[in-house]
Structure 1
Amino acid sequence: MNRAYSEFASVYDELMADIPYDIYTELIQLAAGGLDGKKILDIGCGTGLLSVKLAKMGANVTGIDISPEMITVAKQRAYAHSLPIIFVEQPMQHLEGFEEYDVAVIPIDSLNYVVERDEVISTLTKVYNALKAGGVLLFDVHSTFKTDEIFMEGPFTFDNGRISYIWEAEEGDKPHSVYSELAFFVRNADGLYKRFDEVHLQRTFSVQDYVEMLENIGFSIERIFSDWEDEPPHEESERIFYQVCK
């Protein structure tokens, strides 16, 4: 059975500790021309880390995610910070019920979990419809170099003393797709380990493909950059960012 982000929600924050969410917040702030009072849609919000950071800076945030476990953690986080963030359990390719947003963000390669081209187009179209005129979409995806080369260098292992995993990746059936099986071992308070498994399928597209999809929908390309730097993508870039405007 294809399962992703179920029990993983309990260890997600610890494993994502290296993601520079503060830089992501700055990128959104720059794209939006400030955050105070802005209406922001955080798509693929996960455990709400980014949503909370944006709300703390005065944004009115709505987060959506397909995983009920992730949404539960996100709601708990917002409650702990006394922040009025709305969280909705919904697949991004079925996005509905949102309109007149100043900014939409699909962070940390969340869009790569939508593997069919027509569903990527549907997702981006629904985001376009959720934005007000002049609204901005910012998202990042894996590069084709990362899916085709770096992920194929596995298996990968991790151990921080509490959490260990073995991650085996192989080429998926579709171009630039990756099928991953992860076995997690989490140490409990009694010193015993609990195992759970996750299966993930991701797919990306070339820069040219994304630009074509975005422009056909009606977006204007504002900038494309890579790897958290204000530099254009190159052949060994790993993460590509797109900032586009309605």
Structure 2
Amino acid sequence: MIYRDFASVYDELMSHAPYDEWLKWIDESIKAAGKEKGSVLDLACGTGELTLRLAKNGFEVTGIDISEEMLSVAIQKALAEKLSIDFYNQDMRDIAGHENRFDAVVICCDSLNYLTEEEDVLRTFQEVYHTLSSSGLLLFDVHSNYKMNELFPGHTYADDDDEISVIWKSFMGDAENSVFHDMTFFVNQGDNTYVRYDETHLQKTLPINRYIQYLEKSGFTLQSLTADFTDKSPTDTSERLFFVAKKE
């Protein structure tokens, strides 16, 4: 799924997203692996909220996203803050041209869940493997099966203010452990004139052992598996899973 119209309002709608917690997790995971701050690829970087934080935190950062619209926002923000960040318009399943370049690759904000075919998850892990330098790290988070099957379906989120109004409804998908997100948002164009946009996104997750299987098949060794921005192992009611894997 490629964000198009949504890109123009994404940051405002995601203003409460825990980007600082993602940054802390990445920083601490890299330190725990005995590595210094080096080159990091922010894969599926979106509008660059985490990318910019990584750069300000001392990492040498590159951002990649499939959406030109999202990248345009990210580039403008980086320029405004005078940050030197390279951005590339690429699909996470095909990131050729960066072989053996990065000390770490991060895929945050459940971006991997937009890959709804299992072979695409495996392909992405394989692509990441080739972009990493020796003993490089892959860090990613995904929604849990519990969240996909118990919390998302039937959930409605609505927000209304003077600039943007949104209605976000989630429905069980056709495939196992998948969810449709139907979004309608109205953007104020001035003079009480609003433009309506509609988008539908599909996300899918996998059992934990399947992610581990695909990591190992791609040449990685699992270093840690935690949940919900803690250092605790996942439980049956964990909502977000955090993986750290090492290139062997």
Shorter-chain TM-score tier: over 0.9
1:43 corresponding residue in structure 2? 43
Question: Any conservation in 2 of the 1:32–1:102 contact (CA below 8 Å)?
Answer: no
Which amino acid in the other structure matches residue 67 of structure 1? S
In structure 2, C-alpha distance between the alignment counterparts of 1:90 and 1:138, rounded to whole Å: 19
**Any idea what SS the aligned residue of 1:201 has?**
strand
In structure 2, C-alpha distance between the alignment counterparts of 1:36 and 1:49, rounded to whole Å: 22
Question: Any conservation in 1 of the 2:44–2:63 contact (CA below 8 Å)?
Answer: yes
2:14 to 16, 19, 41: 16
> What is the CA distance between 1:113 and its match in structure 2?
0.6
In structure 1, C-alpha distance between the alignment counterparts of 2:38 and 2:61, rounded to whole Å: 8
2:107 corresponding residue in structure 1? 106
2:89 corresponding residue in structure 1? 89
Question: Any conservation in 1 of the 2:225–2:234 contact (CA below 8 Å)?
Answer: yes
> What is the CA distance between 1:110 and its match in structure 2?
0.4
> What is the CA distance between 1:171 and its match in structure 2?
2.0
In structure 2, C-alpha distance between the alignment counterparts of 1:82 and 1:64, rounded to whole Å: 19
In structure 2, C-alpha distance between the alignment counterparts of 1:235 and 1:118, rounded to whole Å: 26
Question: Any conservation in 2 of the 1:183–1:197 contact (CA below 8 Å)?
Answer: yes
Question: Any conservation in 2 of the 1:36–1:58 contact (CA below 8 Å)?
Answer: no
Runs of 4+ aligned structure 1 residues displaced above 3 Å come to: 34-37
Question: Any conservation in 1 of the 2:25–2:229 contact (CA below 8 Å)?
Answer: no
Structure 1, unpaired ranges of 5+: none
In structure 2, C-alpha distance between the alignment counterparts of 1:77 and 1:47, rounded to whole Å: 8
In structure 1, C-alpha distance between the alignment counterparts of 2:212 and 2:159, rounded to whole Å: 35
Question: Any conservation in 1 of the 2:182–2:201 contact (CA below 8 Å)?
Answer: yes
Question: Any conservation in 2 of the 1:167–1:183 contact (CA below 8 Å)?
Answer: yes
**Any idea what SS the aligned residue of 1:209 has?**
helix
In structure 1, C-alpha distance between the alignment counterparts of 2:207 and 2:35, rounded to whole Å: 31
Which amino acid in the other structure matches residue 188 of structure 1? Q
Question: Any conservation in 2 of the 1:9–1:70 contact (CA below 8 Å)?
Answer: yes
1:143 corresponding residue in structure 2? 144
Higher mean displacement: 179-188 or 71-80: 179-188
- Counterparts of 1:6-85 in structure 2, within 5 Å, are 6-33=4-31, 38-85=38-85
> What is the CA distance between 1:218 and its match in structure 2?
1.6
In structure 2, C-alpha distance between the alignment counterparts of 1:224 and 1:17, rounded to whole Å: 27
2:239 corresponding residue in structure 1? 238
1:117 corresponding residue in structure 2? 118
Which amino acid in the other structure matches residue 109 of structure 2? I
**Any idea what SS the aligned residue of 1:156 has?**
strand
2:227 corresponding residue in structure 1? 226
Question: Any conservation in 2 of the 1:44–1:110 contact (CA below 8 Å)?
Answer: yes
TM-score by structure 2 length? 0.93
Question: Any conservation in 1 of the 2:154–2:171 contact (CA below 8 Å)?
Answer: no
- In the alignment, structure 1 residue 156 sits paired with structure 2 residue 119: no
Identity of aligned residues (%): 43
Question: Any conservation in 2 of the 1:93–1:114 contact (CA below 8 Å)?
Answer: no
In structure 2, C-alpha distance between the alignment counterparts of 1:167 and 1:51, rounded to whole Å: 26
